[in-house]
Structure 1
Amino acid sequence: MELIETTYTVTLRDYPEELPARERIAAETRYAKELEKQLGGPEQVAAALDTMTNLEESPPEVVSPGDLTLLKAWGKASVAAKQAGFRDLGEGDGAYFEVRLL
């Protein structure tokens, strides 16, 4: 299995059944690769996460048109990454992928 060096982590949370580590890591890797494909690479994923964190703490009037474009791109990338991550696992009710900066 290929290791990806990055400045963020992806963790599968609340999957309804116990998964072998190999399957969990494969799902997290698929999710991360799809995010990177959609957003342009690991640096762009980290930058988007940083911006998203800052936006959560900002008043709505501070959101720029560029930020709105990023929000839309993040939403699209997240949907594609979720589909990739859950491929071969099936949808786990309540399960989600947590993405955090290191």
Structure 2
Amino acid sequence: MQVIESTFVVNLRDYPEELPPKERIAAETRYARALEKQLGGPEQVAAALDTMQSLEESPPEVVSPGDLTLLKAWGKASVAARQAGFRDLGEGEGAYFEVRLV
């Protein structure tokens, strides 16, 4: 049996109505898989998230061209992942997916 260790976790937050756990997990899984597909895998998602968090704490003048490329890729991946995550739920007003390193 192969054990897959996750490097990041996705949680659906502030959905306006109570979702059955099965639907919530399915939406979070769709979101995570879309991020992985867009960025190249779970390790790349974790690396991108780590870099994004570092950039939030850095002054704008230290942002490199590589960081700007990553920002664009993250933005594109986030849009695709959001669409995938909400696909069977409809848009939940104010709802969002939180992505954290574990």
Aligned residues: 100
Does 1:76 pair with 2:76? yes
In structure 2, what is the equivalent of residue 17 of structure 1?
Answer: 17
TM-score (norm 1): 0.96
In structure 2, what is the equivalent of residue 30 of structure 1?
Answer: 30
> Relative to structure 1, is the Cα distance of residues 50 and 82 closer, same or farther in structure 2, using a 3 angstrom cutoff?
same
In structure 2, what is the equivalent of residue 5 of structure 1?
Answer: 5
Superposed displacement of residue 6, structure 1 = 1.2
CA RMSD of aligned residues (A): 1.1
In structure 2, what is the equivalent of residue 99 of structure 1?
Answer: 99
Structure 2 gaps, min length 5 = none
Question: Which stretches of structure 1, 4 residues or longer, exceed 6 Å deviation after superposition?
Answer: none
Structure 1 gaps, min length 5 = none
TM-score (norm 2): 0.96
> For residues 27 and 5 of structure 1, what CA distance do their matches in structure 2 show?
19
> For residues 99 and 25 of structure 2, what CA distance do their matches in structure 1 show?
14
In structure 1, what is the equivalent of residue 59 of structure 2?
Answer: 59
Identity %: 86
Deviations 1:1-20 (A, max 9, x none): xx963111100000000000
Deviations 1:33-58 (A, max 9, x none): 00000000000000000000000000
